[in-house]
Amino acid sequence: MADTTKIADKLERKKLKRAARKKAAPKAKRTTPRGSTKKKVKKMVRGQSKR
């Protein structure tokens, strides 16, 4: 992404960012599904109260 911190005009900054996005190489497809590294939580058993 282009460094647009120095530009004060919002529309101008938006234009530059959009152009930079178009020019950038496309991101590779994900190899693993999203959230696969998240910690899995076991479902609580129905009925019986915890305490």
1-51 per-position pLDDT tens digit: 667 788 889 999 999 999 988 998 898 998 999 888 888 887 777 776 666
Helices of type H across the chain: 10-23
Query: How many Å apart are CA 30 and CA 6, to the nearest integer?
Result: 34
Torsion from C-alpha of 15, 16, 17, 21, nearest 10 degrees: 100
What pLDDT does residue 29 have?
Answer: 92
Q: What is the pTM of this model?
A: 0.47
Place of tokens 């991101």: 27
Query: How many Å apart are CA 15 and CA 5, to the nearest integer?
Result: 13
